[in-house]
Structure 1
Amino acid sequence: MTKFNALNIRTDILQNIRSLGFEEMMPIQEMAIPLALKGRDIIGQAKTGTGKTLAFAIPITEKIRTEASFVQALVLTPTRELAIQVATEFEKIGGRRIRVALIYGGASINAQIDRLRRGVHIAVGTPGRIIDHMDRGTLRLNKTETVVLDEADRMLDMGFIKDMGQILENTPKNRQTMLFSATMPKEVRLLAGKYMLDPEFISASRDEDELTVEDVQQYFVRVDRKKKMDAFFKVVKQEQPSKALVFCKTKRWVEMFYDILRRRKFSVARIHGDLSQAAREKAIGKLRQGTVTYLVCTDVVARGIDIPDISHVFNYDIPDEPLSYVHRIGRTARVGKQGTAISFITPDQLRDLWLIESKAHTKIHEWKMTGK
């Protein structure tokens, strides 16, 4: 792999990258950054955890003119959590010289307006709130030079395809556009064809229908439904995770499981869609900083959230779709590290397990109390 210092970028950016512990580029970065620095439009196919955020954040930061106070780059993300993550990466590699506005629903719009009025270089946010600011006249994109569509396939799934088009229509036609997506459904390809100029296609993924996650040791625990809770406590006692996600199917189960773990003196937080944005950010922050060991959650964090050093993912309830399984276990083994995923399977769910194995081209081994 090529080292970051081979890039012709600012010394302070290189120093900030090194301070994050990165020396060598990941494949998607090695392919994307030189093209982006040249101003090329890029379609990047990369699964989660491949380092794609830095693939666009580094060239954008390099090209920012700090003396100019208009929005030079816009990054669209499907969720608030991913927007926060992306904005944080910009701030880490750009330092104090870069001003970033974080724009998403569920947060104070007046605070966002104030931030925009003070002048920012980069805006990162979700499509709905971005359009809200455009309609109010508080976000002007008529001079924007670069637009990034991050996780475009998920924005499609969430119904943002028209919003993405509307936003692109309000930016200069000679802008640079970068689109990153784990998969390339027809609608995403049509969007790229309409709004991108001779894009370069790069891929750090396998074939579109191959969903496997490398570097994750995958196991299942065969258990009767009534003994599932006891099995969970036996497994975590043996595994001793340093930082873990516990996935449940419903918000109600997240709350119940969270209460049970707290009563047993576990260091735990929880997150689901009914919690306020502030509460969700606080819970994610606790796990990221290591002040709790377990985060009980629904699929709201199954994609797009990058929490370093998660050692284990526990599927207390397995998901209905193989792709959801891949996104869940992809929270561990980030950027080449090892991780463990353990799913609790009742006898009537064995067919679901076999389907996941087939679609994800993987083998999920049975977990044994006496060892693996």
Structure 2
Amino acid sequence: MFANIEFNARLLTGLEQLNISTPTEVQELMLPLALAGKDVQVCAETGSGKTLAYLLPVMELLLNRAAAPNAATRALVMVPTRELARQVFKTAQQFADLTHLNVGLLTGGDEFKYQAAVLRKNPEIIISTPGRLVDHIKRGSAELKDLEFLILDEADRMLDMGFAEDMNLVVSHANKERQTFMLSATLRHEGIGRIARAMLREPEVITTHTVQDQHEYIRQQRILADDNAHKDRLLVWLLANETYDKAIIFVNKRIEVQRLNEFLRRHRNGIAMLHGDMTQDERNYVMQSLREGKRNILIATDVAARGLDVEGMDLVINYDLARKGDEYVHRIGRTGRAGKTGLAISLIAAHEWNLKASIERYLQQLMESREIPELKGNYRGPKKLKASGKAAGAKKKPKAGKKAAAAKASGARAGSKNSSEKKKLGPRPSRPKNTGTLMDSEGFAPIKRKKPGADSN
């Protein structure tokens, strides 16, 4: 029994081999719905156990249903990155090895000839990235007419990466009588609702801990920095003084990955890097080195924010702050997993302050302020807007223009010329004094404050 469900004995054996005896919240909620044939839309945070939440019911139903003669692929899992695809494939293969089910993997970086051979064997389950699957569909090597299950894992990330058109093409080739699961970290993504309406039929919606919920096991800190040279010194200090098994350093540009890799190698051993321009063999070598402990510090772009399956990753450093709240969540989600504690530190320069503030508003929580006394910089945060009493109390009179000045001078000359006439006419009759001043309802001139901006994605 698992989650009060009588799974196939071989699947239960797989759970025992993974030392899994209790379902997570998302698994407990999703398993009965999936087994009942429902389409399901899931919003759950990184590390919540979503992979088994869809693999277990799919495998259970495939084992209990007889396949049609010469049936092609029966279940498809689409994920945004190669790393996540390999992680899901590894988990699926552990269970498939105990059954008669076969699993295939399709990602960029591998030869089409090899992948076409995999598809000719008609594996029941395929794990794939969208772009590579579309390539196979166009070549005629992938057939989805017999598809019984379609899983869109991390659908929000696929939309962010520009895979919406590929996702639609895949769905257009898939069997319409399929069961569909869509999983993401947020339901607030602007495209999620549209995709769900187009691809799911009367879905059951599951929401566990969202990205706005506090990460219970992750301590989030921020350190102010003057510039990249200051960040370099802070980074060296943190790697030398923090306690960690493995650490990951996130930057936004590939060229910065390479620069930091060369810089840190002059200070420490065990440095590795990961970015989108690397070949699949290079990526695999880096991941294997981390898992085996040959390397313990990884410098990476957001390609490693999702699907990075390495135990002991207990320190995350945002050298560059993530451009969006969702990406920040997935970055720090590399630590604090499975009930273990983790530390996430963001180095914040002046141009990143507004972005930091927008991420805090998105998460509805603040990063803890931290200083390293021996490396304290000049940047202390944005200056607060202060309105002086003089500025707030009265409006400045507008300066006289040239015409007004000329008129005033002309009037002065005329007054001098006709002064004798004024004496003959006598004093000018008095006018009532103006006892009031034009002000707003509060008695002050309005103060316009600029709204804090936010970096665009």
Amino acid at match of 2:137: M
Alignment of 1:337 onto 2:335: no
1:133-167 CA-partner distances (Å, limit 9, x unpaired): 22222221111111101111121222222322222
1:276-301 residue CA offsets vs partner (Å, 9 max, x unmatched): 12212221222233321111011111
Q: Secondary structure at the match of 1:282?
A: helix
**1:228 & 1:186 partners in 2: Cα distance?**
34
Q: What's the counterpart of residue 24 of structure 1?
A: 22
- Counterparts of residues 16-165 of structure 1 (less than 5 Å): 16-65=14-63, 68=67, 70-97=72-99, 98-165=101-168
1:236 to 236, 239, 253: 239
Q: Distance in 1 between matches of 2:44 and 2:306?
A: 13
Local SS of the residue matching 2:313: coil
Uncovered stretches (5+) of structure 2, i.e. residues with no partner? 374-457
Distance 1:348 1:115, change over 3 A: closer
- Misfit runs of 4+, over 6 Å: none
Q: Does the 8 Å contact 1:78/1:127 carry over to 2?
A: yes
The farther-off stretch of 323-332 and 59-68 is 59-68
1:36-73 deviation per Cα after TM superposition (whole angstroms, max 9, x unaligned):
11221111111222111111011112222498563110
Is the CA contact 2:8–2:60 (under 8 Å) kept in the aligned structure 1? yes
The residue matched to 2:338 in structure 1 has which SS?
helix
Q: 1:156 to 1:227 in 2, by over 3 A?
A: closer
Gaps of 5+ in 1: none
CA distance in 1, matches of 2:252, 2:133: 30
Aligned ranges 1:1-372 → 2 under 5 Å: 4=2, 6-65=4-63, 68=67, 70-97=72-99, 98-184=101-187, 185-206=189-210, 210=212, 212-225=214-227, 226-347=229-350, 349-369=352-372
Q: Which amino acid aligns with 1:197?
A: R
Larger radius of gyration: 2
CA RMSD of aligned residues (A): 2.2
CA distance in 1, matches of 2:250, 2:152: 27
1:352 and 1:202 mapped to 2: Cα distance?
A: 30
Distance 1:331 1:284 in 2: 14
The one-letter code matched in structure 1 to 2:57 is P
Residue 135 and residue 5 in structure 1: after superposition, are their counterparts in 2 closer, same or farther (change >3 A)? same
* C-alpha contact (below 8 Å) 1:212/1:326 kept by paired residues: no
Read off the aligned partner of 2:25 and give its amino acid letter: P
Distance 1:4 1:251 in 2: 44
Which structure has more relative contact order (CA 8 Å, sep 6+)? It is 1
Deviation at 1:368, TM superposition (A): 4.7
Q: Answer yes or no: is the 8 Å Cα contact 1:241–1:293 preserved in 2.
A: no
Distance 2:218 2:325 in 1: 15
- Percent of residue pairs identical: 35
Task: Report which stretch shifted further, 101-110 or 330-339.
Answer: 330-339
Larger deviation, residues 346-355 vs 37-46? 346-355
Residue 239 of structure 1 aligns with an amino acid whose one-letter code is: E
Residue identity in the other structure for 1:120: P
TM superposition score normalised by structure 2: 0.75
CA-CA distance at 1:350 after TM superposition: 3.6
Pair 198,357 (structure 1): closer, same or farther in 2 beyond 3 Å: closer
Counterpart Cα distance in 1 of 2:139 and 2:208: 39
Per-residue CA shift, 1:326-367, capped at 9, x if unaligned?
A: 221111112332211012223554443333322222221133
Query: Quick check: 1:235–1:369 contact (8 Å CA) kept in 2?
Result: no
Name the SS of the counterpart of 1:336 in structure 2: coil
Q: Distance in 1 between matches of 2:307 and 2:268?
A: 29
Q: Once the two structures are superposed, what CA deviation does each residue of 1:72-101 show, in whole Å capped at 9, x if it has no partner?
A: 100111122211111111012332533111
Q: 1:133 to 1:21 in 2, by over 3 A?
A: same
Q: For the structure 1 residues 38 and 269, does the alpha-carbon distance in structure 2 shift closer, same or farther, using more than 3 Å as the test? A: same
